[in-house]
Amino acid sequence: MKTTTFIEQCLAGEATVADIDDAIDHWHDGDSQLELHEFLGMTLDEYAKWIKNPGYLNQLISSKQAA
């Protein structure tokens, strides 16, 4: 069974960017074989940009919504 990523949940209106800490906690508490960036639904480049600038997450979601 495929689990939806945090980004997919945001795009579906099931989560907001404010929920990212909960998603990270879920990854830490779970047994996912995915890297954190994959679990969140980000490429490694997107993840690196988000780490450097947390506000990038809003931009990332908006750009995916527009696509």
| Interatomic CA distance for residues 1 and 34, integer angstroms | 14
pTM: 0.90
Q: Confirm whether 53 is domain-assigned.
A: yes
Q: Is the pLDDT of residue 1 over 70?
A: no
Q: Confirm whether 25 is domain-assigned.
A: yes
Q: Confirm whether 36 is domain-assigned.
A: yes
> pLDDT tens digits for 19-38?
999 999 999 999 989 999 99
Q: Confirm whether 1 is domain-assigned.
A: no
**By residue range, what is the domain housing residue 23?**
6-66
Q: Confirm whether 58 is domain-assigned.
A: yes
Number of domains in the chain: 1
